[in-house]
Amino acid sequence: MASETAPVRLVDYRVPDFLIDTVELDFHLDPKATQVKSRLAVRPNTEGVADLTLVGDELKLVSVTLDGKPLEAGAYNATSDSLVIRNVPSAPFTLEVEVEIDPSTNTKLMGLYRTGAAYCTQCEAEGFRRITYFLDRPDVLAVYTTRIEALKAEAPVLLANGNPQQSGDIPGTDRHFAIWHDPFPKPSYLFALVAGDLGVITDRFTTMSGRDVELRIYCEHGKEERCAYAMNALKRSMRWDETAFGREYDLDIFVIVAVSDFNMGAMENKGLNVFNDKYVLADPDTATDTDFANVEGVIAHEYFHNWTGNRITCRDWFQLCLKEGLTVFRDQEFSSDMRSRPVKRIADVRTLQARQFPEDAGPLAHPVRPEIYYEINNFYTATVYEKGAEIVRMLKTILGEDGFRKGMDLYFDRHDGQAVTIEDFLSAFHDATGVDLAQFHLWYSQSGTPEVVARGSYDPKQKTYSLSLKQNCPPTPGQTTKKPMHIPLRFGLVGPNGDDLSFSDATGARVEDNVIHLTEAEQTVVFSGVSSLPVPSLIRGFSAPVRLSVDLSPSDLLFLLRTDSDPFNRWQAAQTFAIRDLVARTGAKVRGEALDTNEPFIDALGEVAEADALEPAFRAQILQLPGEADIAREIGRNVDPDAIARARAELRISMAGRIGGRLAVLFDSLQSKTAFSTDAASAGRRALANAALDLMVANRDRAAIERVVARYRNADNMTDRLGALSIMAHAPLDERLPALADFEERYRNDPLVLDKWFALEASVPAPETLDRVRALMEHPAFSPSNPNRIRALIGSFASGNQTQFNRADGAGYDFLIDFLRDLDRRNPQTTARLLISFRSWRALETGRRNRAEAALKRLDAVGNLSTDARDIVARMLA
């Protein structure tokens, strides 16, 4: 490992030597020189420790006093990243520290920084130390009081965590102040402050016990109307947490602020959530249905953190999934209740397979609860979030609805106000239900995606069906051998008429409520009393995050696609069929051979697309073929992205040829004659129309192209407009050029909408795209310091354009590395996230693999990389 910093290890965890009970902060805001005074009530927590060590990061100490007395020079030592006070009293004492910070040069967007003309903070994971010296670790919980003082004209709005206490003018000056008090003890990573000249919308919510809560959403002036959907989502989230989990909101006010410069999606600071504006602002003219769903999901996610993360927080950063996996599970459940449960599940599994599976299969694989890190910022991963949520979902499958709720209730009761571990979490479920979760715990410590192989055989004489099941988890960095895990497999034995067959008994594994509990490396389940040969439908609803290989014939798959009572597995059958075809087709392309069209499969897709009994959003999912990256993941080694693209295009062309006419009829029938609505059913019809149109243009059918051009031109909402434009860009059709120019012109003053355009420009699968991306970096709306712009243009190129990022000449890799080398000096977090586009480089064919490696090595050779970038590059090359 080329890293100079020492790693942090879970086994080294020790309780803090000191605790801090109260924190009084006083901010004197100034763009270039903000003064921060803190008064800390400190108390020793272990015996015999003489020195108090507080951490800092790029701080400048102004003064320090202990119990009111200035410290002499020899009594402390201050550097920009630590403040050590020697020989502190063994009884509680008060420490007062004043520092000066410069928000205007804070391009890392951690700590206190400027966004537009406003001030805002981001403290998770370790940003509070960029504001003042502190015990900046999540197991130090304190009650915060925050006073903010600023120029009235520059920052009429002054916000911090908790309830507002006092505010007013400072007589004889052009400044004013506000004091906020948060009565709930919290770790420093949940601290927040926002100040600026902002617009606001307000509302109210009455909690289940009758408490009145004021709700506010702040945004850039002029964007207030675009906050209405977020406010509505917030109120629905608050009500849902009461009914689904019995959790009520606890302060007098809940505030959301939308900012344009933010490294991540949003942040759950107590009572003062700060959001990337793309997850707040949404109206039909500027946001797609997917944007609306994302706003709803992220609003819910951050709100739900109030109980899972804030009231009960993490003991240390290794426990990150304790709050993230659980909160993702909660927001997924919320969205399922608000929309279609099967469609939400399909979308979530797509995300898991696209983001987490490759992570688990590559050099960045790590357990859901890691045991070592060099840079905690790099562990806000798909594994911690999405696989972490899958673990909670499996827990619910294993314990049942009631057992799960009992466990959650006990967890909330027992640990409110504490900073806890995964063991505490699992103990609550064990103690509430008596179920032994010792083996289940392995899901947190073993990395890698388990593979389950299933083989079935039917004995018509005995009327028994035997299902042999094997599990195996491939080696991952630092873990060569693995133990068998507890894998809950929801299943059905589908009979000839599509209904599940019953069975009288099952031996060889615990089988309960249509769930097989696979707990050993190999088990054979024998079902007796099975009246005829079944087709097994396994891992229904994706009941476990594993890769399943099952000996289903093509006709079995088409049968499940047409008849399975589990909608998820109908979709899965289509995906499995498609991916088998696409992998074989890619192989044929590489060998220069031809492969026949599978007409029964295409016909079955056509049938499902037309089936009015099924909801349109589901049919849209069925029509969406696996993407190029999905195919690459399935192939796994010696990947040739050009061959994959040609194979996928070939299948699409056959589909358009064979069912294009039927899809056109379907498309025309889906044209809305009523006013636009954001509801899930209307969104489903738009999604199906876009999915049908996307396939119809594959063979360049003139009538289909005319439809897509007209859809772009006549759209009365962003979903239709962007859907059409995206079809033109991805095909790619020549018609895209005037349409892209029109889109740029139409939305030139709207950065969030222009991001969609940057992203499409960067995803065009054509050789000129890299030059186009380079040119767009000079576009007046592009900013090399805004994370949203960077992700839209550079991120979409690197992760959304398989053939052009993976150009055979390596120019895509070199471009990204050059960009990141420069970005790393300004924003290490965003740099590290973009670097992840290289995570599957070892799976590429030799030529590309060598070029990717050379590019990574070039970055590795840079002397002054951030710890964020250094950590990712080192692991990627290890």
Q: In what order do the strands lie in the sheet with 118-122?
A: 111-115, 118-122, 193-196, 157-160
Paired with 493 in beta bridges are 536
Say which entry of Zn ion, ligand 0A1, none residue 267 contacts (CB below 5 to 8 A, set by partner kind). ligand 0A1
Per the rule left: phi > 0, alpha: psi between -120 and 50, beta: everything else, 777 is alpha
Tell me the C-alpha distance between 710 and 707, whole Å: 5
Does 265 bind ligand 0A1 (CB under 6 A)? Our answer is yes
Say which entry of Zn ion, ligand 0A1, none residue 59 contacts (CB below 5 to 8 A, set by partner kind). none
Identify which of residues 265 and 508 has a Cβ nearer to ligand 0A1 in the complex. 265
Only one residue has tokens 């030529």, namely 847
Say which entry of Zn ion, ligand 0A1, none residue 380 contacts (CB below 5 to 8 A, set by partner kind). ligand 0A1
Only one residue has tokens 């009758």, namely 210
Three-class SS of residue 99?
A: strand
Does 831 bind ligand 0A1 (CB under 6 A)? Our answer is no
Q: Could you tell me the CA-to-CA distances from 814 to 370, 756, 785, 820, 829 in Å, in that order?
A: 31, 24, 20, 10, 20
Identify which of residues 237 and 263 has a Cβ nearer to ligand 0A1 in the complex. 263
Q: Among candidates 57, 110, 112, 49, which has minimal Cα distance to 79? A: 57
Three-class SS of residue 39?
A: strand
Identify which of residues 103 and 810 has a Cβ nearer to ligand 0A1 in the complex. 103
CB of 187 to ligand 0A1, least distance (A): 12
Does 375 bind ligand 0A1 (CB under 6 A)? Our answer is no
Q: In this chain, which of 267, 293, 391, 773 binds ligand 0A1, going by CB under 6 A?
A: 267
CB of 324 to ligand 0A1, least distance (A): 5
CB of 412 to ligand 0A1, least distance (A): 19
Q: 312-351: which residues touch Zn ion (CB under 5 A)?
A: 324, 327
Which residues, at least 6 apart from 830, have a Cβ–Cβ distance to it below 8 Å? 263, 787, 790, 791, 823
Tell me the pairing of strands 18-28 and 419-420. unpaired
Identify which of residues 146 and 263 has a Cβ nearer to ligand 0A1 in the complex. 263
CB of 136 to ligand 0A1, least distance (A): 14
Which residues, at least 6 apart from 746, have a Cβ–Cβ distance to it below 8 Å? none
Does 868 bind ligand 0A1 (CB under 6 A)? Our answer is no
Say which entry of ligand 0A1, Zn ion, none residue 124 contacts (CB below 5 to 8 A, set by partner kind). ligand 0A1
Residues touching ligand 0A1, count (CB under 6 A)? 12
Per-residue contact string for residues 237-256; x = within reach of ligand 0A1 by CB under 6 A:
--------------------
Which residues, at least 6 apart from 529, have a Cβ–Cβ distance to it below 8 Å? 463, 502, 503, 504, 505
Does 813 bind ligand 0A1 (CB under 6 A)? Our answer is no
CB of 302 to Zn ion, least distance (A): 7
For 305, other C-beta atoms within 10 Å of its C-beta total 25
- The encoded tokens of residue 486 equal 């507890």
Say which entry of ligand 0A1, Zn ion, none residue 832 contacts (CB below 5 to 8 A, set by partner kind). none
Residues 455-473 as b/e (b if ≥16 CB within 10 A, e otherwise) read: ebeeeeeeebbbbebbbeb
Q: Are 214 and 238 in contact (CB under 8 A)?
A: no
Say which entry of ligand 0A1, Zn ion, none residue 642 contacts (CB below 5 to 8 A, set by partner kind). none
Query: What is the H or E stretch that residue 471 is in?
Result: strand 464-472
Q: Are 777 and 793 in contact (CB under 8 A)?
A: yes
User: DSSP assignment, residue 12?
Assistant: G
Q: Are 600 and 535 in contact (CB under 8 A)?
A: no
For 47, other C-beta atoms within 10 Å of its C-beta total 7
Q: In this chain, which of 268, 375, 634, 642 binds ligand 0A1, going by CB under 6 A?
A: 268
Does 380 bind ligand 0A1 (CB under 6 A)? Our answer is yes
Q: 96-125: which residues touch ligand 0A1 (CB under 6 A)?
A: 122, 124
- The encoded tokens of residue 264 equal 């991540």
User: Among the candidate windows 212-220, 266-274, 682-690, 706-714, which touches ligand 0A1 by CB under 6 A?
Assistant: 266-274
Q: Are 790 and 831 in contact (CB under 8 A)?
A: no
Identify which of residues 315 and 619 has a Cβ nearer to ligand 0A1 in the complex. 315
Does 264 bind ligand 0A1 (CB under 6 A)? Our answer is yes
Q: Are 52 and 85 in contact (CB under 8 A)?
A: yes
Q: Among candidates 511, 525, 512, 526, which has minimal Cα distance to 464? A: 526
Tell me the C-alpha distance between 126 and 143, whole Å: 18
User: Among the candidate windows 16-24, 179-187, 217-225, 259-267, which touches ligand 0A1 by CB under 6 A?
Assistant: 259-267
Say which entry of Zn ion, ligand 0A1, none residue 265 contacts (CB below 5 to 8 A, set by partner kind). ligand 0A1
- Catalytic residue, chosen from 302, 390, 650, 735, is 302
User: Among the candidate windows 94-102, 260-268, 501-509, 571-579, which touches ligand 0A1 by CB under 6 A?
Assistant: 260-268
CB of 105 to ligand 0A1, least distance (A): 18
Paired with 253 in beta bridges are 214
- 302 catalytic per annotation: yes
Identify which of residues 373 and 813 has a Cβ nearer to Zn ion in the complex. 373
Identify which of residues 317 and 797 has a Cβ nearer to ligand 0A1 in the complex. 317
CB of 621 to ligand 0A1, least distance (A): 26
Identify which of residues 387 and 517 has a Cβ nearer to ligand 0A1 in the complex. 387
Residues 764-795 as b/e (b if ≥16 CB within 10 A, e otherwise) read: bbeeebbebbeebeebebbeeebbbbbbbbbb
User: Among the candidate windows 100-108, 258-266, 277-285, 786-794, which touches ligand 0A1 by CB under 6 A?
Assistant: 258-266
CB of 107 to ligand 0A1, least distance (A): 13
- The encoded tokens of residue 170 equal 């400072």
Tell me the C-alpha distance between 860 and 865, whole Å: 8
Identify which of residues 320 and 473 has a Cβ nearer to ligand 0A1 in the complex. 320
Q: Are 684 and 621 in contact (CB under 8 A)?
A: no
CB of 267 to Zn ion, least distance (A): 8
Q: In this chain, which of 139, 324, 581, 628 binds ligand 0A1, going by CB under 6 A?
A: 324
Q: Among candidates 268, 322, 359, 263, which has minimal Cα distance to 868? A: 263
Q: 696-715: which residues touch ligand 0A1 (CB under 6 A)?
A: none
Q: 284-303: which residues touch ligand 0A1 (CB under 6 A)?
A: 301-302
User: CA 390, 392, 397 angle in degrees (round to 5)?
Assistant: 90
User: Among the candidate windows 257-265, 367-375, 590-598, 762-770, which touches ligand 0A1 by CB under 6 A?
Assistant: 257-265
User: Among the candidate windows 146-154, 195-203, 261-269, 623-631, which touches ligand 0A1 by CB under 6 A?
Assistant: 261-269
Q: What is the CA radius of gyration of the chain?
A: 28
Say which entry of Zn ion, ligand 0A1, none residue 122 contacts (CB below 5 to 8 A, set by partner kind). ligand 0A1
CB of 248 to Zn ion, least distance (A): 20
Tell me the C-alpha distance between 548 and 353, whole Å: 12
For 409, other C-beta atoms within 10 Å of its C-beta total 14
Residues lying near Zn ion in the complex (CB under 5 A) are found at 324, 327
Residues lying near ligand 0A1 in the complex (CB under 6 A) are found at 122, 124, 263-268, 301-302, 324, 380
Active centre residues (catalytic): 302
